[in-house]
Structure 1
Amino acid sequence: MSNVRIPPAVLQTPGFAHYSLAWSPFHTNRIALASSANFGLVGNGRLHLVSLNSGPGGIALNTDKYYETQDGLYDVAWSEVHENQLVTASGDGSVRLWDVMLNDHPIRAWTEHTREVFSVDWSNIQKDQFISSSWDGNVKLWTPDRPRSLLTLKAHQSCVYQALFSPHHPSIIATSSTDGTIRLFDLRSPSYAPSLPSSNSSFTNPLSAAVLTIPASGSEILTIDWNKYRPWTLASAGVDKMIKVWDCRMAQEEGGPGKVGGVCETHLPGHEYAVRKVQWSPHSADVLASASYDMTCRVWNTSPAAGRMQLMHIHDPHTEFVVGCAWSIYEEGVLASCSWDSKLNVFRI
């Protein structure tokens, strides 16, 4: 484990607890930050646009702009086709599309979900599509130009904490839920074909057939992430404090399509409370970051050399739950974390 302590660059936004952050895929120095008043329990939200500026004293963080919302924001994702657009997930059940060149209101809002929207993810392959997941158990597929969702997946019977496109296969979506399972959906199935503009079938009749269900935990799975280099590898974590790495390809071979399976490659114990976020490094197949209610952000090596520890680094300046972390896309070793202490930290491992 690293003993080198490099002071992080810190941005504080008083009155707003942070839930999620995302680095821009177009600009090396731009971060979007989804925040909520009163820890997201009640009150309004705010979308912050943050820039990083390097100088003699290191990295400085500045708030370039922010947008107020009527309810708390839980997640944010940048567009993969438009450098100035991004979507947010809100506690009022809405999904909103923003343009950072405009000063006030979102350019589109969708309100199909019936409960809090907890995650949004933009496809990095099918770049005109993104998905949302909600406490209503549904995952919805969207495109910015349509007033309604393209289709609805009844992914779980309970809250879907996260839904993510595979970075390798544009038709594969993974979900995690309060029911302790990870589920994979394949949109190439004929039943998932997006409806015609005149059809309301996918809007009124959610689809629910997962191609694979992994019983990942006896408690809630709060977060998942696809490995960027190994196409069928997923990391998961949640209330049981354990980070697990899964080979979904082996699970498919073992269980077959539509079956229950699961091959866990690695267990990463160490967090003292629930793990709220995991994210694989975009620069290394074996490096994983995690954020936890134990107020730390940690970095792991899932395949350490003989005699080396899996735990590489502990980042612990936060004074409240750390609920978000994300690697810089362009600069290797740079990680950002956000917390209920209203602070965004950017630091180098």
Structure 2
Amino acid sequence: MNRPPPLNFQTPGFAHYGLAWSPFHEGRLATASAANYGLVGNGRLHLTSVGPGPGGAPSLVLNKYDTQDALYDVAWSEIHENQLVTASGDGSIKLWDMMINDLPIRAWHEHSREAFSVDWSNLKKDVFISSSWDGTVKLWSPDRPRSITTLQAHTSCVYQALFSPHQPDVIATCSTDGTLKIFDLRAPAYAQGPANNSFTQPLSAAALTVPASGTEILSLDWNKYRPFTLASGGVDKIARIWDCRMVKLGAEAAQAPGVGGVCESQLVGHEWAVRKVQWCPHRPDLLATASYDMTCRVWATAPAPEASKLVYIHDPHTEFVVGCAWSLFEEGVLGTCSWDCKVNVFRM
């Protein structure tokens, strides 16, 4: 079977860090980018409509926004089709409306170091979270001037924080300390009152801590069909599948936080660090991984390690591949972004 060549577009001078498909419009794609590979200089948010335009090129560049510092991640709003939020190297979180040129419609600056990830809840659609190199995760509402809650999730950089797609008050985090953590915001430890606020006393009790690696964990993702099944990837070049079904929630989480998690499978094949992992939204057994080895790989996973296998390699990028994202509307379609200033959209 002949596969069509990938669609790709370039953003000269801006290396990509993250990309996200719109939950409202098929083919609408946002990318978070940075000049000088994010080490110093400006950032840029690109909004593109990817489709079968003339010559197979993207059909339309919808808008682009420049920022004073690098952009490391982007997430679409789940309640407003034209809005999205970004995480920046100066620690700021910005909300954008693609119908408004130039400036964000709201900005927050509570993180003391680089803000590295953002995620909008698809269950509680009026909140989103951010994670930072300062070790915290913050819960936000687009209508509030300050964060709702602060979690002192780790003692070092939190590379990613994600809402569970199954439990609206549960989030997972990963860090330079080599652990995955699961937090339940309903636990009594997170109750806010006049003598306890999240700004002077950040919340810290995890419902479950998974010692996932002896090195940094750079990315994680929840399986969309199997509650408490997560994937992780990091500096040790291995993607792992975790069964965390023994996690305690609610009051139990505060009274007896646990350490555990069972590694179901290890996906070995990348030559350098695994920078991004993402489960397919259409099937429970497909996982995409992006790596500094300049490839994006797709794996068919299974609880039995020997049954997991590599099914696809995408390798036209010429620099680190730092992001990958499955299309929410079209099965088998993936987008990748890289430090080569290119975004590729292809079908497996």
Same fold by TM-score greater than 0.5: yes
Report matched runs for 1:27-46 at 5 Å: 27-46=25-44
Q: Tell me which amino acid in the other structure corresponds to 2:271.
A: E
Q: Tell me which amino acid in the other structure corresponds to 2:301.
A: T
Question: Which residue pairs with 2:162 in the alignment?
Answer: 164
Report matched runs for 1:85-96 at 5 Å: 85-96=83-94
Task: Give CA-to-partner distance per residue, 1:267-303, whole Å, 9 cap, x none.
Answer: 1000000000000000000000010000000000002
Task: Give CA-to-partner distance per residue, 1:54-81, whole Å, 9 cap, x none.
Answer: 2575463542210000000000000000
Which of 150, 153, 158 pairs up with 2:151?
A: 153
Which of 211, 214, 218 pairs up with 1:222?
A: 218
Q: Tell me which amino acid in the other structure corresponds to 1:212.
A: L
Distance, in Å, in 1 between the alignment partners of 2:268 and 2:169 is 32
* Uncovered stretches (5+) of structure 2, i.e. residues with no partner: none
The answer (yes or no) to whether the contact 1:212–1:257 under 8 Å persists in 2 is no
> Which stretch of structure 1 is more off in the superposition, 306-315 or 160-169?
306-315
1:236 matches 2:232? yes
Show structure 1 runs of 4+ deviating over 6 A.
304-309
Distance, in Å, in 2 between the alignment partners of 1:328 and 1:193 is 37
- Please tell me the root mean square deviation across aligned C-alpha atoms, in Å: 2.2
1:20 matches 2:18? yes
Q: Tell me which amino acid in the other structure corresponds to 1:261.
A: G
The Cα of 1:259 is off from its aligned counterpart by 1.7
1:273 matches 2:266? no
Distance, in Å, in 2 between the alignment partners of 1:60 and 1:323 is 21
The Cα of 1:332 is off from its aligned counterpart by 0.2
Distance, in Å, in 2 between the alignment partners of 1:326 and 1:304 is 23
Pair 5,272 (structure 1): closer, same or farther in 2 beyond 3 Å: farther
Distance, in Å, in 2 between the alignment partners of 1:288 and 1:276 is 13
Question: Which residue pairs with 2:102 in the alignment?
Answer: 104
Distance, in Å, in 2 between the alignment partners of 1:195 and 1:228 is 34
Q: For 1:149, what is the secondary structure of its paired residue?
A: coil
Pair 58,309 (structure 1): closer, same or farther in 2 beyond 3 Å: farther
Which of 80, 94, 108 pairs up with 1:82?
A: 80
The answer (yes or no) to whether the contact 2:265–2:304 under 8 Å persists in 1 is no
Distance, in Å, in 1 between the alignment partners of 2:97 and 2:322 is 25
Q: Tell me which amino acid in the other structure corresponds to 2:342.
A: K
Q: For 1:204, what is the secondary structure of its paired residue?
A: coil
The answer (yes or no) to whether the contact 1:138–1:152 under 8 Å persists in 2 is yes
Distance, in Å, in 1 between the alignment partners of 2:225 and 2:77 is 22
Distance, in Å, in 1 between the alignment partners of 2:12 and 2:103 is 22
Distance, in Å, in 2 between the alignment partners of 1:292 and 1:5 is 22
The Cα of 1:105 is off from its aligned counterpart by 0.4
The answer (yes or no) to whether the contact 2:266–2:305 under 8 Å persists in 1 is no
Pair 348,234 (structure 1): closer, same or farther in 2 beyond 3 Å: same
Q: For 1:53, what is the secondary structure of its paired residue?
A: coil
Question: Which residue pairs with 2:130 in the alignment?
Answer: 132
Q: For 1:39, what is the secondary structure of its paired residue?
A: helix
Q: For 1:60, what is the secondary structure of its paired residue?
A: coil
Q: Percent identity?
A: 70
Question: Which residue pairs with 1:204 in the alignment?
Answer: 200
Task: Give CA-to-partner distance per residue, 1:16-39, whole Å, 9 cap, x none.
Answer: 000000000000010000000000
* TM-score for the superposition, normalised by structure 1: 0.94
The Cα of 1:200 is off from its aligned counterpart by 7.9
Report matched runs for 1:186-201 at 5 Å: 186-193=184-191, 201=197
Q: Tell me which amino acid in the other structure corresponds to 2:277.
A: V
Task: Give CA-to-partner distance per residue, 1:125-182, whole Å, 9 cap, x none.
Answer: 0000000000000000000011000010000000000000000000101000000000
- Number of aligned pairs? 344
Distance, in Å, in 1 between the alignment partners of 2:154 and 2:307 is 39
